[in-house]
Amino acid sequence: MNDVVLVGMALFAMFFGAGNLIFPPFMGFMAGPAWFTAMLGFLITGIGMPLMGIMAAARAGGSIEHLAERVGPKFARILSIVVILAIGPLLAIPRTAATTFEMGIRPNLPWVGPAVSSLIFFTITLFFSLNPSKVVDKIAKILTPFLLITLVTIIIKGIISPLGPSTVATIPNAFAGGFREGYQTMDAMASIVFAEIIIAALVFKGYKRVSDQVRMASQAGLIAAVGLGFVYGGLMFLGAKTGTLFAADVERTSLLIGIAQNLLGGTGKVALGLAVSLACLTTSIGLTATVAEYFSTLSKGKVGYKAICVGTCIFSGVFATVGVTTIVKIALPLLVLVYPVAIILILLTIVRNKAIPKPVYTGAVIGALITSVFDALASTGVAVTPVNDLIAYIPLAKAGFPWIIPAVIGGIIGAFSMTKRKSAAETV
């Protein structure tokens, strides 16, 4: 039981990213009275899928490539590179710096600009990623409880004394909106990377059988889910009660800071900004090291760990200056494209793993990609109108899930093609 609790707390800390906290309040703000429905959608992609990702990766063998190799080795390699880039310099790392500026620096040190903030942030990130230190781990262990206590205080105060009534929802489908907003946490993709760490910890504790690892991950996942559910759900409720306090075009970071200030005054704003900023910094250091280790290993040492760290920090530092809102907009097409594929792989692996033939995996992934590609293009404003109009007629498309039916059909076609090949071989 002690091992379950310890692993559960570790999972909670891994998924309790400071950068993720800006999404639930904004979703609640947009959903208004339908905040609970939006929360259900958000919790599926923001908590459910990441925890299932851990279990699926454990069952598959422990890594991204193990999870995707049932489709093909080249596909597995491409997907792993895309995931590492997404949780690294393309999206997640720049977002940590932008969030730090908008929540910690700008409200408290308004004379510091985004470029200066980013330069300082990534100088510190580079120093610690090049010089691994237990100091960062110790700081992270202190920061997580501090940030959690601050958030719990804000949530309880907001529940006892709501900031205002819920206003009319500004999104047509609260569940689908919450589901897609959960993509932005990127935790389902990150979970496949985190799985290796969790599995290594379980093996160290003596759980060497895959069945034991999956069981432990499942039980520990429930502990993490309860904690994350309270935080995300509470923040979404607070956001839903602020419709009369903020303009419709309020930024995600400004909304969360505004909620803290309205509930706890200037002290709450400073405490939350400081905790989130430092937590984002430790996250940036960890992700930079992960990216550098992955690509250094991938290149078989031809590109050094330090060079990748430097390149990651430079790229992320420049990208971070565009701001959280722009990064979120840029992230959406990639997430819309990749998330359905990740979800399909996770579900198929959890359901049957190797008992499901390779053609079923391939067909389901291709089916999901056919719609996701056009959905991603539409999210950039480059819609292929005739195709998108056809996709709109697919069942569940209007609810925000156009890829589900094509994925099922693709899997069935894959199974049928395999059966047909077997029959042909037996006839010969």
Residue 168 CA to residue 359 CA, distance in Å, equals 46
CATH number 3.40.50.280 given to 2-337: no
Taking the domains of the chain in order of start, what are their residue ranges? 2-337, 357-428
Q: Tell me the torsion sign for CA atoms 127, 129, 133, 139.
A: positive
Record the tokens describing residue 320, joined without a space: 């971070």
Record the tokens describing residue 406, joined without a space: 């094509």
CA 252 to chain centre: 16
pLDDT in tens, 79-103: 999 989 998 898 899 999 999 999 9
Record the tokens describing residue 132, joined without a space: 């691994």
pLDDT in tens, 136-180: 566 667 777 888 888 888 899 999 988 887 777 778 888 989 998
Q: Please, are residues 11 and 51 in contact by the beta-carbon 8 Å criterion?
A: yes
Residue type, 232: Y
Of 354, 358, 369, 345, which Cα lies nearest the Cα of 415?
358
Q: Tell me the torsion sign for CA atoms 342, 62, 331, 282.
A: positive
pLDDT score for 423: 54
pLDDT score for 310: 95
Residue 15 CA to residue 7 CA, distance in Å, equals 12
CA end-to-end span of the chain:
56
Record the tokens describing residue 162, joined without a space: 């709501």
pLDDT score for 248: 81
Low-confidence ranges of the chain (pLDDT < 70): 1, 132-140, 352-354, 418-428
Residue type, 191: S
